[in-house]
């Protein structure tokens, strides 16, 4: 598990975007950036695109803000 986001970067290699933390490859740079949430625990609300500091907060956010319990 990575504690610092400073170690996370997108590496472009052989036509693919690679996560510097786990080596996972993506065809789109944005997909790779979004994948970083896996390492940082951060997530984004699929409805209002608000950034949440942890995945567990999303459940509460969905219920309180969008009235949509997951
Ligand atoms: Zn990764
Ligand atoms: Zn939201």
pLDDT at 23: 96
What was the pLDDT predicted at 25?
97
**Ligand 1 centroid, distance to 60 Cα (angstroms):** 26
Instruction: Give 18 Cα–ligand 2 centroid separation in angstroms.
Output: 28
Reply yes or no on whether the pLDDT at 3 is more than 70: no
HEC secondary structure over the chain: CCCCHHHCCEEEECCEEEECCCCCEECCHHHHHHHCHHHHCCEECCCCCCEECCHHHHHHHHHHHHCCCC
Residue 67 CA to ligand 1 center (angstroms) comes to: 32
Could you list the residue range(s) of the whole structural domain that residue 34 is in? 5-66
Residue 6: per-residue pLDDT: 60
pLDDT at 49: 92
* Ligand with the closest atom to the CA of 18: 1
pLDDT at 44: 86
- Average pLDDT on 14-22 reads 96
For residue 38, the domain's CATH number is 3.30.160
Kindly report, residue by residue over 35-56, the tens digit of the pLDDT.
988 898 888 898 999 988 888 8
Domain count of the fold of the chain: 1
């Amino acid at each position: 598990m990575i504690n610092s986001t400073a170690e996370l970067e997108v590496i472009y290699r052989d036509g693919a975007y690679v996560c510097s933390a786990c080596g996972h490859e993506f065809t789109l740079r944005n997909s790779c950036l979004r994948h970083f949430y896996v390492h940082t625990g951060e997530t984004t609300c699929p409805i209002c695109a608000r950034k949440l500091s942890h995945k567990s907060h999303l459940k509460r956010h969905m219920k309180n803000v969008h009235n949509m319990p997951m």
